[in-house]
Each structure stands twice: as structure tokens, then as C-alpha cells.
Structure 1
Amino acid sequence: MNNKVKKIGKPRLLMLGCGDVGMRMLPLVRERFRVIVVTSKPERCEELRAAGAIPIVADLDQPASLGRLARLAHTIVHLAPPQSAGEKDRRTRNLAAILPDRATLVYISTTGVYGDCGGASFDETRATRPTNARAQRRVDAESVLRAWARRSGSRLAILRVPGIYAKDRLPLERLQKGTPALSAEDDVYTNHIHADDLAMIAVAAIDRARPLRVYHAVDNSEMKMGEYFDAVARTFNLPSPPRLPRSELQQQVSPMMLSFMSESRRLRNERLHNELGVRLRYQTVEALLKTLS
């Protein structure tokens, strides 16, 4: 009976979107919170229940399905990506319309909001300059949530996230296909974070993020994209990708991949350590690769 009372008394956490990172978050929060996960896929309900969550079927693309989420929880983690077209994030706009007052919300954004920075190293004070619609949708989402937070007296933390890696999230298929990479002269700096560390960062932000604060959820790696591919190739005894100048490479890769290869930046993460108190499990990509070699 005591256990039943304790369970009922847990505060609620609402999670929107529960892919790989969300599933890694669940073990970190389910003992402390009654976790309610919004999914648009009814077939995922059994999996989510088995992971300790309470699934609710709703669709951020369908505002009429969201009414029951209003005031359901005052701690919210927004992991759902924008829709795939347009410059506005309609999903986040639909969500903001039903969010409660005086809540705590952690939003998972992207480092792509900065656009190409010519390899510069910078902190969270740098202005956004999105160069494609995908990043523009993220900037729109951040803006919408900031306006909601100011209006409602809520605490918002924005985590800008780079390329996510893990043991099962490495570019092995790309390497096996022999997809080329940029020549050293044209190569770009990339940023990285391990999926487990990102889950931990999101939980830390629930507790310790300052209001209306942006955090770079990045590890300490400082690698160019080709160096990353080479390091993974060495670990798995695969051929390193051939290197081509940008003028030739753009004829062989998808427009989305080319857009990633057109942006170079090095994000600093002092706020992550000093304000959120995060101690990364994987300080660099190489730290994970060493465990796999």
C-alpha cells in the first residue's frame, strides 16, 4: 500500500518523442517521475510500457489530438523533430498552444542553427544564422518556446545538439559503401555527443538549467569530418573513405549530406560543465572507439 501511495505521489514528466535518446532517458527518470510519453504510433505503446512509461497516442501534426496533454505535467522534455518541410515548426507551434504556465521545459534543438561558421570556436552567445530550411525550423521552434516561457513564467532550457554517436550509431554502412569524404583542404569541423551523455545532459537540464538558457550539448572532440570517418574505419578494420574535392563530391552525395559537409564549426561547452555540472562519460569520440577496438 505504501508503494502504491508513493507511485501516485510522483511528479509527472511529459516526454514528446521517444526515439533512441528518449529510451535512454527513461531509466534515468522513471524512478523519480511518473513518465508520460506522447507517441503518434499506437504500435509503440507496448514497448513504452515495458520501459516504464505511460504512453499516450497523440500527434503534434493534429492539434485536435493534443487537448488532453494540457496541464498534464509541469516538467516537459521536447524531443520531437519538426515536420520535414517549411520554414516554421508547426509541431512546436501546436504544442506551445497547450503548454501550461510555470512549467519546466527542455527542448532538444540542433547546432545546425548556427550555419557555416568557417571553423570558428565559439560559445552559446553567438547569433544563429541558419542556412537551410531544416535549421530555420529549429530556430523557429526556439523562438516560439522562448515567447511561451516569457509569457507563462516558465523555465526553458534549449540544448543545441550535434551529431549523435553510440556503439550502434556509427557510420559503418557509409564506410562499407565507400562513400567519399571531403579532401583535407575542403574538410569541415564537426561536433559530436554520445547518445547516453545526451540523455544525461537532458536530465541535468531539468534540475539545473537557468531560465531561458542555451547549452551546447557537445563533447570535447575537435575533429574534422574526414578524421571522424577515418577513426571509425580504423576501429572496425574498414577502408578509409576516398577523399575528393568539394567540386567532385557534390556529384556523389545527397543534398542533405552535402549540407552537413558545407558547415564547419567548433562549439565550446563550458556552460555544460559549469552550470549543469555534467561530467561526460565519453569525453571524445575516441573514448568510445577505444572500448570497441
Structure 2
Amino acid sequence: MRLLVLGAGFSGRAIAQAFMLAGFSAVGTTRSPDKQVALAVLGIEPLLFDGEAISAELASVMEGATHLVQSIAPGKNGDPLFRPGTKPVGDLMPNLQWVGYLSTVGVYGDHKGAWVDEDTPIHPASTRSVERVEAEERWLAFSEQCGLPVAVLRLAGIYGPGRNALRNVEEGTARRLIKKDQVFNRIRVEDIGGSALFLARGGHSGVFNITDDEPGPPQDVVAEAARLMGAEMPPEVPFETAELSPMARSFYGENKRVSNARIRSLGFFFRYPNYRMSLAQMWSDNDWRG
């Protein structure tokens, strides 16, 4: 069994590692020659792909792939596998058995703190979320047309070893940003890998929220990291006066609690269902620096 990950970044690498532990071989694409070495160190066969033209080498890998995870953001040019002039996915990948498409809970838009699930009408606000919806629809239409299982994984805020509040506290970049009643869901990167493998093994198709059990205020995560480390509590910063990039500020324009009940109903168990136990594990095992 052979997995191809288009876009082997933080999440894509975790997915490849989960599949390899289950006996798969894995190829991961990257735009950067510098990152090829890092993929190879993990046992992932690296392949350069700029997200545009499909090279002969990539086409050869696609031909032998049995499983695909598409992690590349669509952008203004759309999904690279559905652009005009590109061969149909079924022709490019004749041995394909399952596809996972990595999307975002951002497609739901703002629900003013209310709970949402996969049946909640979506109202994407940002351009990037609108593009994700369009990509989801293409993959789900492909699934229906070809009878091939495609799982759309809507991911919450991703963290894990190397990317977390403990590192932010250590590096002095952590802030307790305060916006009244704001909550976010999160997801540990290893649970992304585990959920993708679970859905692939079961041949599951459809939309699945991949998120923790406990949406909460972002400042509480920072406070918990500082408490674990015995560090000075980072300062509170009012959202209204905080210096934020336009993208960071847009995240705070969406407020919702995202349910993961659908994938749990299939029998999947999250290893890290809340940020407190997850931060405690990283701190205790000293793997938080990545």
C-alpha cells in the first residue's frame, strides 16, 4: 500500500508517519529543496512539487499510489488536480482506493459561540475558506462520480511538538489575547494522523470534523502552558488594541464550538481530547520543542 501526501507540511508529515507505522510506504511533496532532507529523515520519500505542473516523476508516483492525502491549499488557481488541462484524477491515479482532503473548520464561519457539526450550514467568510469549500465540493463530486471514498477532514487549530504554547512561553512570544466570549477548538497533530489512518482503513467517505472535545478561550491555553512551566504569566492584551496580522485578526472574527461526534461515533478515539492533558504530556515527556 502506498500513500501520496500532496503537501507534506506539519499535518501531512504526521499523517505519513501514522500510515507508515501501519505498513504503508509514503511519498510526500514539498516546494522547498531544503525540506526534502527533513522528510527523508522521517522515512518519507521526498518529491519536489510547486503545486502547479505535474512532473513526469510525480505522475509516476501517482500511478502507483493507493491512497492520497491532499493538503495543499487551493489558492486562487484552485486545486492542482482539478485545473483545466490536467488529466482526470482517475486516469492519473488508476490504483487509488481512498482520498483524504484536508480542509478547515473555518468553512463554518461565525456562529457566535454556538455548537456546529457537519450538518450545520456553512457560511465561509474569508477568501481562503471560500476556496476550501470549493475544493471540498470538487472532491465530494469526484467521490460520487467515481464511487471512490473521499473523506473531507475539517481541521481545527493545529498544534503539537514543535508548535505549541509551551514554546511560545519559552520564546517570549506568548500573549493572553482577550476577546469577550471568544472560544476556539484545537487539534493535536498526531490525532490528525490517527484520524486520517482510521478513515482510510474503514474506507469512510464524507465530511468529518477533526477537533478536540473542549473548545475554550485562547488565553486559557497560554495560562496553562505558563503554569506547567512555572513561568511568569504572559500579559493580558485586549483584542481591540492588539497588533495582529490581517489573517490572525480574521480568525478572531469567527466564534464557534465544533463537535467531533461524527468520527467518534464510528469508533475513533482521540489520544489528546483536550489541551490540558496534551500540554501536560508534552511537558512531562519533554518533546514539546519538537
Could you tell me the TM-score, scaled by structure 1's length?
0.82
Aligned to 1:197: 191
- Of 34, 43, 46, 1:52 maps to 43
How many Å separate the matches in 1 of 2:83 and 2:8? 18
Aligned to 2:16: 26
- Of 178, 181, 194, 1:182 maps to 178
Matched, 1:126 2:120: yes
How far residue 72 of structure 1 moved from its aligned partner, in angstroms, is 2.9
Aligned to 1:82: 74
* Distance change (3 Å), C-alpha of 1:81 and 1:238: farther
Consecutive unaligned residues in structure 1, runs of 5 or more: 1-10
How far residue 14 of structure 1 moved from its aligned partner, in angstroms, is 1.4
| Aligned 8 A contact 1:70 1:98 in 2 | no
Matched, 1:288 2:278: yes
- Of 97, 102, 105, 1:103 maps to 97
| Aligned 8 A contact 1:26 1:51 in 2 | no
Amino acid at match of 2:82: R
How many Å separate the matches in 2 of 1:67 and 1:27? 22
Matched, 1:143 2:103: no
Could you tell me the TM-score, scaled by structure 2's length?
0.83
**Is the partner of 2:135 in helix, strand or coil?**
helix
Alignment of 1:128-277 (within 5 A): 128-171=122-165, 176-177=172-173, 179=175, 181-183=177-179, 186-211=180-205, 213-236=206-229, 237-244=231-238, 246-249=239-242, 252-275=243-266, 277=267
How far residue 69 of structure 1 moved from its aligned partner, in angstroms, is 4.8
Alignment size in residue pairs: 273
Identify the range of structure 1 (219-228 vs 134-143) with the bigger mean alpha-carbon deviation: 219-228
How far residue 110 of structure 1 moved from its aligned partner, in angstroms, is 0.5
How many Å separate the matches in 1 of 2:270 and 2:165? 22
How far residue 119 of structure 1 moved from its aligned partner, in angstroms, is 0.5
- Of 4, 20, 24, 1:14 maps to 4
Identify the range of structure 1 (229-238 vs 109-118) with the bigger mean alpha-carbon deviation: 229-238
- Of 49, 63, 70, 1:71 maps to 63
- Of 82, 93, 106, 1:93 maps to 82
* Distance change (3 Å), C-alpha of 1:241 and 1:91: farther
| Aligned 8 A contact 2:113 2:181 in 1 | no
**Is the partner of 1:118 in helix, strand or coil?**
coil
How far residue 127 of structure 1 moved from its aligned partner, in angstroms, is 1.6
Aligned to 1:3: none
How many Å separate the matches in 2 of 1:209 and 1:238? 48
How far residue 285 of structure 1 moved from its aligned partner, in angstroms, is 0.2
How many Å separate the matches in 1 of 2:279 and 2:40? 33
| Aligned 8 A contact 2:40 2:46 in 1 | yes
Cα RMSD between the aligned structures? 2.6
Amino acid at match of 2:109: G
Deviations 1:164-183 (A, max 9, x none): 12242113575524645124
| Aligned 8 A contact 1:119 1:188 in 2 | yes
| Aligned 8 A contact 2:3 2:16 in 1 | no
How many Å separate the matches in 1 of 2:158 and 2:115? 19
